[in-house]
Amino acid sequence: MKGFVTIGENKGVFFKKGKIVKLGAIASTIVKELESTGAGYNIKYELLDAKDYGLPQDRQRIFIVGVRKDLKYEFEFPKPTHGPGLKPYTTMKDYGIKDIHSLETEVFRDGSGGNDYFSARYMSRNRIRKFDDVSFTIPADAGQIPADPSCSKMWKKDITKVKDSDWPEFRKKHGDDIADDLIRMSWRQCAAIQGFPKDYKFSGDIKSIYRQIGNAVPPPMMQQIAECIKPYFEGKESSFPMHKEKVTVS
C-alpha cells in the first residue's frame, strides 16, 4: 500500500510527481532491516500505478524487491508503457469491462430482501466513472466497491457541499434521494479490471471474493515485474537488454 511510506508520519513531503522522494522513519527502518537480513540484500522500492502498465485502473502501490548481494544482479522496475508521451491509458471499454454480463448473485448488496444500502462514507464522494475512463481503485471492502459505470448518477438531485463530519446525519435524512439505479460493480467486473483471466475461479462467499480480488496485485502488472527478474535465470546481469550482460570467459 502507498501508506507504507508514511507510517507514523504526520507531516512532510514523501511523494512528488508520482515518485517516492523519501521514506518515513518507520518505513526506512523496515528497509534497513531487509537490507541487513542474512548475507544482505540490495533493496529497491518504487511507487507504481496500474494504469501506467496497461490496466484500466487507478491503483498506486509500493513494490519492494530485494536481490541478494552475492548474486550480482542489477534489478530495475519495468518502465511505464502508458501515459503522457506513451500509449493512451487503457479504458474499461478498451479492456472489455462493458461486455461482461454478470449475474445478480455476483453483485454485492449491503441489505436484505433484495434491497441495497449505501453508507454515508460511500455517498460522501463520487463513485461513478464511465466505461471510457479508467476505474477507481478496486478495494477489498465489498461495501466500498465503485459504482457500475452504467449508473447515471449517485443522487436524484444536486447535492450541495457537505462537511465530512455532517455526512452521517445527512445520509439519514436524505436516504430517499439516492439514485434508484445506483449499484456496485460485480465481483466479475472487478476481477477483470484487476487483470484476472475471465475463467479464474474464486472460492468463498461474495464478500470474501471481493476481498480476494481487492487485496490482490493485478496479475498482468506482477508479470511485468517478474519479467525484470527473469533475465537473472538467463545468465544476464541486469533486468534489461540495454544493460551489460554476463560475459562467459572460456
Complete domains list, the chain, with CATH: 2-87+219-234 (no CATH), 97-215 (3.90.120.10)
pTM for this prediction: 0.90
The pLDDT value given to residue 247: 41
187 exposure class (CB count in 10 Å sphere: 0-12, 13-18, 19+): buried
The pLDDT score that the predictor gives to residue 2 is: 87
What is the model's pLDDT at position 250? 36
Which of 100, 95, 70, 80 lies closest to 17 in space, CA to CA? 80
Please, what's the largest Cα pairwise distance for the chain?
81
Residue 17 confidence (pLDDT):
87
Record the cell numbers describing residue 158, joined without a space. 444536486
pLDDT score recorded for residue 114: 64
Q: Closest Cα partner for 196 from 208, 205, 187? A: 187
Q: Which residues of the chain have pLDDT under 50?
A: 242-250
Distance CA 193, CA 184 (A): 14
pLDDT number for residue 214: 98
The C-alpha cell 506513451 sits at 86
What is the spatial distance between Cα 199 and Cα 201, in angstroms, rounded to a whole number?
A: 6
Tell me the per-residue pLDDT of 19-28, one tens digit each, with 9 for 90 and over.
999 999 999 9
The pLDDT assigned to 5 comes to 95
DSSP 5-27: GGTT--S---EETTEE----HHH
